[in-house]
Amino acid sequence: MTSNTIYHIPVLLGECLEGLNIRPDGVYVDLTFGGGGHSHAIFDQLSEKGKLIAFDQDSDAAKNAWEAPNFHFVAANFAYFYNHLRMLGLPKVDGILADLGVSSHQFDAAARGFSIRENAPLDMRMNQAQTVSAFHVVNEATEERLQFIFRTYGELNNARALALTLVNQRQSKAITTTFELMDALRNFAPKFKNHKFFAQVFQAIRIEVNQELEVLQQLLLQTKEALHPEGRLVVMSYHSLEDRLVKNFLKHGSFDGKQEKDFYGNLIKPFTEVVRHPIVPNEEEIQRNSRARSAKLRIAKRN
């Protein structure tokens, strides 16, 4: 039983395990199973009485699961993970791990359309069973929606011009591949920064396709119900939009950064941060795995 490091190299593995504060007989949840790297490391620290529940919506990830009495793989999006836990008779758990974003496998599988380096169909679906793909977003979203996507999810200043360009382009011919999308927007790519520009474009469309920010908010809200008091929440994000939601939720109990209070004026704060600032990979890990460069790890415990 070995983890598939070819599928995805686990980022900040030691720090994630330390953050979970694993008890051998505890119950733990890996919401982003992927190649199983984090899951295997958690499982290795459990006794026969301990349990690990792993989630992943990507059918490719399911191939990395294994058989064991105290391991259960759920082939589903983590948006409703708490319902699955209750169905399994596990209404409270001791630790939850979420490694957000796109796996190395998803980037490297050219046909999935996540990478700017390969010409592939416009897909970008993390769950290949869903109907909406990047093709539908690029060719069917309104100009106003495209502008919102590029401005909000890609943090691009020229979102209006990008949206108008795609709308005009698709009127004569549908945009079907990643390279066709890049060609349509190539005039907007800054000199010497074209890689970053197209990464932002792809990120924006990918977030829209998979509704990543909405699903992240659903995930975080459910952790309040799912974790025992003192239970650990460990979340790793890879861009500022995700990290901002996680930071605000852990610091303030809300997504907009505003403090919420009860009727008596007491601060409603479901979590206490274990580390005040996010943990980031050191240079040695970044050299081993360049995709770790943008990772930010936040750890908190349930009040």
pLDDT value of residue 1: 55
- Whether residue 150 is predicted with pLDDT greater than 60 in this model: the reply is yes
Residues 88 and 28 occupy one common structural domain? yes
Are 116 and 202 a contacting pair, CB within 8 Å?
Answer: yes
Residue 292 lies in a domain: yes
Residue type, 254: S
**Rounded to an integer, what distance in angstroms lies between the CA atom of residue 12 and that of residue 258?**
30
CB count within 10 Å of CB 228 equals 15
Sheet of 51-55: strands edge to edge? Answer: 71-74, 51-55, 27-30, 93-99, 227-237, 296-302, 271-273
In this prediction, what percent of the chain has a pLDDT beyond 70?
A: 97
pLDDT value of residue 111: 82
pLDDT 10s digits, 218-229: 999 999 999 999
Residue type, 71: F
Q: Model-level pTM?
A: 0.92
- Domains held by the chain: number: 2
| Higher per-residue pLDDT: 262 or 36 | 36
pLDDT value of residue 265: 84
Residue 7 lies in a domain: no
Q: pLDDT grade, residue 161 (50/70/90)?
A: very high
pLDDT value of residue 261: 82
Last residue of a domain, one of 163, 182, 210: 210
Are 206 and 212 a contacting pair, CB within 8 Å?
Answer: yes
- Whether residue 147 is predicted with pLDDT greater than 90 in this model: the reply is yes
Last residue of a domain, one of 184, 210, 236: 210
pLDDT value of residue 9: 79
Residue 2 lies in a domain: no
Q: What percent of the residues of the chain are helix, what percent strand, and what percent coil, each to the nearest 5?
A: 45, 15, 40
CB count within 10 Å of CB 119 equals 13
- Whether residue 290 is predicted with pLDDT greater than 60 in this model: the reply is yes
DSSP 41: H
Q: pLDDT grade, residue 2 (50/70/90)?
A: low
pLDDT 10s digits, 62-120: 999 999 999 999 999 999 999 999 999 999 999 999 999 777 777 777 789 999 999 99
**Rounded to an integer, what distance in angstroms lies between the CA atom of residue 221 and that of residue 95?**
15
Residues 6+ apart with CB under 8 A from 173: none
CB count within 10 Å of CB 128 equals 12
Are 228 and 136 a contacting pair, CB within 8 Å?
Answer: no
Residue 252: CATH number of its domain: 3.40.50.150
Residues 55 and 135 occupy one common structural domain? no
pLDDT value of residue 3: 56
pLDDT value of residue 103: 73
- State residue 29 phi and psi, 5-degree precision: -130, 130
**Rounded to an integer, what distance in angstroms lies between the CA atom of residue 1 and that of residue 44?**
10
Going by C-alpha positions, the residue among 74, 30, 75, 79 that lies closest to residue 52 is 30
Domain that holds residue 137: 111-210
Residue 189: CATH number of its domain: 1.10.150.170
Last residue of a domain, one of 158, 177, 210: 210
What is the average pLDDT value for the chain, to the nearest integer?
Answer: 94
Residues 99 and 216 occupy one common structural domain? yes
pLDDT value of residue 262: 83
pLDDT value of residue 287: 93
pLDDT value of residue 122: 97
Q: pLDDT grade, residue 5 (50/70/90)?
A: low
Q: CA of 125: how far to CAs of 122, 131, 251, in Å?
A: 9, 9, 31
pLDDT value of residue 227: 98
Residue 3 lies in a domain: no
